[in-house]
Structure 1
């Protein structure tokens, strides 16, 4: 029998709706503030003025339309990778393979542009983006299948796939896809790709291109997929409790593969955006694979975590980290500090943001617990409702005519 909601229940629901967003925003911002404080100490140790440095960082990232455009361009691949990370994490799998998926997506999109150079832009641009999505999706589905059907840890497999993709890119750019016009000294880059595949510039006198709009659109699609579709409900159910989902008849193994495939597809689109939205408009391995990807495969993970693993919240989080990248260059030029310091500052921000996740969850649990002043839950009322997965297990067991089992059997999904 369903118990009517009391005033205490309503107060608890309202307070929960207020506490969660506050904690989700306040804790990462506090982590960033601590990281910048440590960065200021490092600047002082080098004899630089941290106030001037951070002023240059803000001006270089958000000081004008050109700076905002550069920040948005830097944030686009972070956002695309971050949306993919959100999808994978919500399904209970960890995708560390964004770097490799970016590379393979870039390779696929480059092959499309080389094969169809004379195709009109209105057709070629969507095709190179689709090619990137297919390449990244395939590269993501492989570790998904290994985890689902062979029990291989997805963290290890995605990291290894990064290495394989980087070496495969180096191999292709040494011979098959290399620019033949480079002469005897082969440069690890393709020829200038078809202009019909270039991402169109947006109105205004900046370098802002269509890739930024595509990234935001993919983030919106990611939100619809996760929270407004039956497939998203299944993916989140598998991530919440795979055993309960299996007993409910959900294809858990297929869901794992799909989640990593979707995640890889987002990263693959980022690879296409990096190639056809760049100034060189060619696939290049300058300084190694990390030089081409700009470490977006790893920075996108941090952007997703900063955005609480929500596709829409990842949009401002990615813009923030894009500003860190563009503003860091201005900081270095203003203070004449070593480039390693900028890398260290970004690393400190990443470290504190990731480290704050556990604190965020604990603060949320504490704030919503009885007796903290944030909730009005009565401790002497009827027993609490069982968790959704427990109810699901019990109802499934009753349907089968047996008590709820303690250990699930592997399904044939």
Structure 2
């Protein structure tokens, strides 16, 4: 199996676990300096995450869009591109799902819900493909175009909701049709009405698709080859421009799915937003946490989503202000992302193990 996608060994698990511990310890120091009790704060954090069936379900719900956006960013990274526009692609996915969910009537669930998913995913993909086209055909840096497209997506979606979907006297769209809903009502009832939905299942399947595309198909080989060395790929006869557009299109589909399931599975309407939801930017952190590895991204999303959801417990249960909570989350991400520092901390441990093996 490819080195980048190998199964986690004991040693490869030790480093990120120690990194998480170091991040939490650094966060504890920050809380002590600020005059807050870190023991109470972390107790409130874990109580919020695992205190009830509802909290567990909501934590799972919170990490689901992060898996999609983490996969989106990682797919682009693996093909030599920087997709900073997952945020805009999420918004376009939301808009596509809302349009189909609100405007289409009299369809059975088996057709209506998949249609809304497909349209939302394609809108996210096409939004990503715009940046890919500008990169491939005009040489415009994708970092700049994706950032700009984030803002365009926000204002365009607001215009669409305001013009075609707005419920009177509300700052949101009409509710989607019941036949477009992808909530898991039966499972939600078992989890004290936590907002669970089919998107979590699809997110795990998306990680499998990510792996299959990049490491098991000819297309994936070409996409990775273009990412490693454009000139070598051209010399080998690959269509570099087409592969750049294709990579950004697939990356956008992953991000678009995050927006689709937030609409169809969680909220069932789209608001006229003053700011973007933030899933795309969080996806960059999740991609780094997971080392651009689809299985690592699932674990990274679980960590990031769990900390984000549990942080509300620190605020309400231990009176820790939001600013310090973000420092705690940021310190965990820092130590996980800079694992060279962690390995340096672990050098004495590894040296001792190596000496014992030699004996």
Shorter-chain TM-score above 0.5: yes
Counterpart residue number, 2:175: 192
- Contact 2:45 2:313 (8 Å CA) reproduced: yes
- TM superposition shift of 1:48: 2.1
Q: Give CA-to-partner distance per residue, 1:39-74, whole Å, 9 cap, x none.
A: 112222333211121122122123443222111111
Partner SS state of residue 96, structure 1: coil
Partners of 1:103 and 1:260 in 2: how far apart? 16
Structure with bigger RCO (C-alpha 8 Å, 6+ apart): 2
Determine if the alignment matches structure 1 residue 289 to structure 2 residue 275. Answer: yes
Partners of 2:135 and 2:8 in 1: how far apart? 32
Partner SS state of residue 164, structure 2: coil
Within the candidate set 315, 329, 333, 1:346 is matched to 329
Would the alpha carbon gap of residues 236 and 113 (structure 1) be closer, same or farther in structure 2, given more than 3 Å must change?
Answer: same
Determine if the alignment matches structure 1 residue 316 to structure 2 residue 299. Answer: yes
Determine if the alignment matches structure 1 residue 300 to structure 2 residue 291. Answer: no
Within the candidate set 123, 135, 138, 1:135 is matched to 123
Would the alpha carbon gap of residues 234 and 118 (structure 1) be closer, same or farther in structure 2, given more than 3 Å must change?
Answer: same
Partner SS state of residue 256, structure 1: helix
Counterpart residue number, 1:212: 200
Within the candidate set 59, 63, 74, 1:86 is matched to 74
Identify unmatched segments of 5+ residues in structure 2.
Answer: 346-353
- Contact 2:90 2:124 (8 Å CA) reproduced: yes
Would the alpha carbon gap of residues 89 and 358 (structure 1) be closer, same or farther in structure 2, given more than 3 Å must change?
Answer: farther
- Contact 1:105 1:267 (8 Å CA) reproduced: yes
Aligned length: 344
Determine if the alignment matches structure 1 residue 224 to structure 2 residue 212. Answer: yes
Partner SS state of residue 175, structure 1: helix
Partners of 1:200 and 1:44 in 2: how far apart? 42
- Contact 1:62 1:323 (8 Å CA) reproduced: no
Partner SS state of residue 173, structure 2: coil
Counterpart residue number, 1:376: none
Q: 1:87-236 residue pairs with structure 2 within 5 A?
A: 87-180=75-168, 182=169, 187-201=170-184, 203-204=186-187, 205-206=190-191, 207=194, 208-236=196-224
- Contact 2:19 2:342 (8 Å CA) reproduced: no
Structure with the greater alpha carbon radius of gyration: 1
- Contact 1:106 1:271 (8 Å CA) reproduced: yes
Partners of 1:24 and 1:141 in 2: how far apart? 35
C-alpha RMSD over aligned residues = 2.9
Partners of 1:338 and 1:74 in 2: how far apart? 21
- Contact 2:289 2:333 (8 Å CA) reproduced: no
Would the alpha carbon gap of residues 248 and 18 (structure 1) be closer, same or farther in structure 2, given more than 3 Å must change?
Answer: closer
Counterpart residue number, 2:348: none
Identify unmatched segments of 5+ residues in structure 1.
Answer: 1-12, 364-371, 374-413
Partner SS state of residue 165, structure 2: coil
Would the alpha carbon gap of residues 202 and 307 (structure 1) be closer, same or farther in structure 2, given more than 3 Å must change?
Answer: farther
Partner SS state of residue 291, structure 2: coil
Higher helix share: 2
Q: Give CA-to-partner distance per residue, 1:124-145, whole Å, 9 cap, x none.
A: 1111110111100000000011
Within the candidate set 222, 225, 247, 2:235 is matched to 247
Partners of 1:116 and 1:16 in 2: how far apart? 43
- Contact 2:290 2:297 (8 Å CA) reproduced: yes
Partners of 2:48 and 2:263 in 1: how far apart? 24
Partners of 1:161 and 1:328 in 2: how far apart? 30
Partners of 1:140 and 1:339 in 2: how far apart? 33
- Contact 1:170 1:188 (8 Å CA) reproduced: no
Partners of 2:344 and 2:72 in 1: how far apart? 26
Partners of 1:233 and 1:362 in 2: how far apart? 34
Q: Give CA-to-partner distance per residue, 1:190-226, whole Å, 9 cap, x none.
A: 0112111111316431222111111111111111111
Partner SS state of residue 95, structure 1: coil
- TM superposition shift of 1:16: 11
Q: Give CA-to-partner distance per residue, 1:141-173, whole Å, 9 cap, x none.
A: 000111111111111110011011112123333
